[in-house]
Structure 1
Amino acid sequence: MLTGVRVPVESLTRVAAPDPEPVTLLCFSHLRWNFVFQRPQHLMSRFAEEMKVIYWEEPIVIAPGETAFVQVRQAEDFPDVTVAVPHLPEGLSMPEAEATLTRLATNYAASLKGALVKWYYTPMMLPFSRQIEADTIVYDCMDELSQFKFAPPMLLELEQELIDSADLVFTGGSSLFEAKKDRHSSVHLFPSSVDRDHFALARSGATDPQDQANLARPRLGFYGVIDERFDIDLLRQMADARPNWQFVMVGPVVKISDEDLPRAANIHYVGGKTYEQLPHYLSGWDVALMPFAINEATRFISPTKTPEYLAGGKPVVSTPIRDVVRHYGHLQGVQIAYDADGFVAACEKALELAKDPKGQWLAEADLLLSATSWDTTQARMSGLIHDVLGERTGVQQNMLVAAE
């Protein structure tokens, strides 16, 4: 009776609001999940703790005439990350491959429920995914891919389209930020960080891997992808100048020929290793190296190795990569060298520092490292994404109220 005259009645019964659909992050990456554990893996494994993460890789070629499909699996060691790998039959023309990828990606995305975040590491995946509607689009620019060897000619045009359509643009270093900041209204600098606890294992005497355990000292090491950004001539000259130094090169060789690599009795290529193995190799070195070539491919890089090496307690010697000089060049534990002679001299200084593993140089580095972590970086990114999602949800709610 009271409701007939519209008198409000207070009820003690609470009606539970329906749980919102989970947010899905669909990450398009040119780097395979199992290739090298770096920025995408650090971030996506952390985003997976708060939302559903799907990591879409580049296609794998299958036999001609076979039916295209998407293989879905859980990421090794990260069961909350789903890796999606399209498989395309050999022999497709570029338009046919793009049409097939569009169909696969569209059908896959149609099965996803709730809000969708599209996250891009490469503009080259835009042609087959642009039609997938998303609540937020993120471009995380970790490299200037147009400057890399064999870069597709349409990359720059696609990147501009991606920037124009993105809600948020993140950059992996200061040089990239400066290059992108005027091309979008919401560009944010998120330099690559470091998992300090993981690499601190190198300070506590981790087990020396078998393939370097018998090498003499001093040992100078590098880990990472060995490609056109690596100064192979510098390595050759150092090995010639100091035949009693052992140079340990950890990582896959990509886009350059094995035949072009310098060969000497004191240069040791041990191949690619897992992220878990890296502190063990680092522990067995006296000095950590960053012998990058100074060219267009390295103009905008901001290597994660610098903080990782320092977190492992090793002094670092690097060529003058702009972001390394800017952020770490003032540290006593980071030596910058411009040529082979200078690199050898810098390594000698670093070897002296290495004799004092608890010295002031390391305390200085630790103070700098204490201000950064992948957890903090991901949390700040997540906040920006949820701001965009919240604004859009608010607009939709206001429209519904107005309609009523």
Structure 2
Amino acid sequence: MIVYFGGTAYDGVAGTDRQLTDRLAALAPVLYVDPPISLATPLLRPHLAGSLDGPPLRRQARDLYRLIPRALPGAYRPGMHHVTAALVRRATRQAAGRLGRRVTAVVIATFDAGLLGAVPGARTVFYATDDLVAGAGLIGLPARRMEKARDRLLARADAVAAVSPRLRDDFRDRGRDAEMIPTGCAPEAYEGIDTAPWPPDLAGFGRDRPAAGFVGHINARIDMGVLEGVAAAGHPLLLVGPHDPAHEPARFRALTARPNVRWTGRKSFAELPPYLRAIKVGLTPYARSAFNDASFPIKTLEYLAAGRAVVATDLPSARWLRESDPEGAELIRTEAADGFVRAVGAELAAADPAGATGRRRRFAARHDWTHRARALARLLDIDREEVPAP
């Protein structure tokens, strides 16, 4: 069995952790371990209240199990984070015992070095899906603690993986080679997208003029000026995803009040295909920062999987996609902030060349989550042919 310590709850945003473990479970049994939760957690994050309902250990699918460890209030305060890690380690060993599985591999996809040794004797891979040292302020934890945890994980893990070229190179500079395992996409989710029912809450939006669209969290990581520029240029702009109330509330209200802008709020991953049908160009407008430069936004590949054109901020991850695949430079347009709006206008006005939609989808299929899961399985020394039938 593989134990995967995720940085997000399994039933939260269907991001890297969830997508990878769903596919790893086709190669070997997986126990997904959520970040720990206490009785006080729902007071700060009400959307997690449901996690306390039901037993801590649950079966999600065939060969995929989920553990929701319980913690004491103030789980990540100085000093208490050691107690929390000890509780999670014990709960993980108990869960594996209840399932009657021998744990042979562990993935730590967080910066919690206290999870090292959770299962003695198991091969451990540290998988950095973000630069949490640079992003410590975003998650409300001390940067110094994140730095010490990162260095301990780099020193003690059996193998290291990094989500982006910037993180991979940073780890190499720190004396540890890392396998690059970027984010992927789910092309199968967009099969039949062009005949999907038009979303009822769009009421004709994008029917008469091609629209640009953004899918994801609208927070401090996003360049609000780019979104404002696209709207000010008169282009129809669709925003799908939650807005952080603390991030530029007045600017966001003014943006969504424009007649050519439609904001849907949060939508689940399963709900996305009809909304992507309504756009011609997908936007990945990230602000330049150390945290963003080390990230690998999922949305760029998801737009391509849906057959849509892409304009993305010129992050190292976008450049890697353009340079690592022969078709990348033609299918992904990268721009700095000052040229982003012009590029969006050009893509909206351009006629798609014959076969462009198919080429985008084939490109995305070469970067799907199954490929990423197999790369991670190789680091874990998991060979499908050696996995016994349950």
TM category (shorter chain) comes to: 0.7 to 0.9
Alpha-carbon offset, residue 310 of structure 1? 1.3
1:72-97 Cα offsets, whole Å, 9 max, x none, are 2233xx45322222233446764346
Matching residue of 2:332: 334
Alpha-carbon offset, residue 45 of structure 1? 0.7
Which residues in structure 2 correspond to 1:292-311 (within 5 Å)? Answer: 292-311=286-305
8 A Cα contact 1:30 1:57, kept in partner: yes
TM-score (norm: length of structure 1)? 0.78
SS in 2 for 1:55: strand
Q: Percent identity?
A: 22
Which residues in structure 2 correspond to 1:138-217 (within 5 Å)? Answer: 138-148=125-135, 149=138, 150-153=140-143, 154-183=145-174, 186-202=177-193, 204-216=194-206, 217=209
8 A Cα contact 1:118 1:134, kept in partner: no
Amino acid at match of 2:26: E
Which residues in structure 2 correspond to 1:31-42 (within 5 Å)? Answer: 31-42=8-19
Which of the pair has more CA radius of gyration?
1
SS in 1 for 2:63: strand
Q: 1:275 to 1:326 in 2, by over 3 A?
A: same
Q: Does 1:116 align with 2:107?
A: no
1:165-197 Cα offsets, whole Å, 9 max, x none, are 111111212222222234455521222222223
SS in 1 for 2:264: strand
Unpaired segments of 5 or more residues in structure 2? 42-51, 384-390
Select the residue among 246, 251, 254 that pairs with 2:236: 246
CA distance in 2, matches of 1:305, 1:226: 13
Q: Does 1:269 align with 2:259?
A: no
Select the residue among 72, 76, 80 that pairs with 2:57: 72
CA distance in 2, matches of 1:343, 1:230: 13
Alpha-carbon offset, residue 226 of structure 1? 2.2
Alpha-carbon offset, residue 364 of structure 1? 4.8
8 A Cα contact 1:209 1:281, kept in partner: yes
Unpaired segments of 5 or more residues in structure 1? 1-23, 389-404
Q: Does 1:316 align with 2:310?
A: yes
Amino acid at match of 1:307: L
SS in 2 for 1:88: coil
Alpha-carbon offset, residue 230 of structure 1? 0.5
8 A Cα contact 2:168 2:178, kept in partner: yes
1:57-78 Cα offsets, whole Å, 9 max, x none, are 22323169xxx99722233xx4
CA distance in 2, matches of 1:61, 1:36: 20
Amino acid at match of 1:73: R
8 A Cα contact 1:26 1:54, kept in partner: yes
Q: 1:38 to 1:90 in 2, by over 3 A?
A: closer
Which moves more between the two structures, 96-105 or 342-351? 96-105
Alpha-carbon offset, residue 119 of structure 1? 0.9
CA distance in 1, matches of 2:306, 2:3: 33
SS in 2 for 1:336: strand
Aligned residues: 354
Amino acid at match of 1:26: V
Which has the bigger relative contact order, CA under 8 A and spacing at least 6? 2
1:316-351 Cα offsets, whole Å, 9 max, x none, are 1122112213423763343333235x2222112111
Matching residue of 2:373: 378
Q: 1:70 to 1:254 in 2, by over 3 A?
A: farther
CA distance in 1, matches of 2:360, 2:118: 46
Q: 1:170 to 1:269 in 2, by over 3 A?
A: same
Alpha-carbon offset, residue 164 of structure 1? 1.1
TM-score (norm: length of structure 2)? 0.80
Q: Does 1:288 align with 2:282?
A: yes
CA distance in 2, matches of 1:334, 1:384: 29
